Amino acid sequence: MLIFISCIILFLIGLYAVVAKRNLLKIAIGFCIMEYAVNMLFALIGFKSGAIDPVITKVDMPHNFVDPLPQALVLTAIVIGVGTTALFLSFIVRIYEKFKTLDVSEIKKLKG
């Protein structure tokens, strides 16, 4: 129970960066941390104590595996996460070239 709550705390740290920070790169870092927190929560939910990783190595071995379904979902989510992060950071590069700053409170002429 406490182990899930520590994942929620990691998520809230990322959300704090997105909400309260004014530097665009810090906001991107907050998004990354939120992704890690959610992935970690899924992997923790699927864990089974005393079980092994879900790979069949012998023909008639007992099927005492951890839950493979959250692992498959998280595998998809990790790869999507790096794509969205790359898109976010390319927008940051463009914004810096136009406004010469990363402070969101100084970027005011966002039109056209």
Partner 1 sequence: MIEIYLFLIFMIIAAVIAIEIKNLLAAAIAVGAVGFSAAILFIILQAPDLAIVQIVVEILTVIIFVAVIFRTTDIDKTVGKQLTSMQILGIVFYGFFALLFIIISERILNTLPPFGSPIMKVAGEYIKLGLPKVGGTNIVADIILDFRGLDTLGEATVLFTSAIGVLAVMRKAGRK
1-60 binders of partner 1 (CB under 8 A): 1, 3-10, 12-17, 19-23, 25-26, 28-30, 32-33, 36, 39-40, 43-49, 51-57
Q: Please give the distance of CA 108 from its chain centroid, rounded to a whole number.
A: 29
How many residues in the shown chain lie near partner 1 by CB under 8 A? 76
**How far is it, in rounded angstroms, from Cα 39 to Cα 70?**
9
The distance of closest approach from Cβ of residue 42 to partner 1 in the complex, given in angstroms and rounded to an integer, is: 9
* Phi and psi, residue 65, nearest 5°: -110, 160
Residues 85-104 that bind partner 1 (CB under 8 A): 85-87, 89-94, 96, 101-103
- CB neighbours of residue 37 within 10 Å: 19
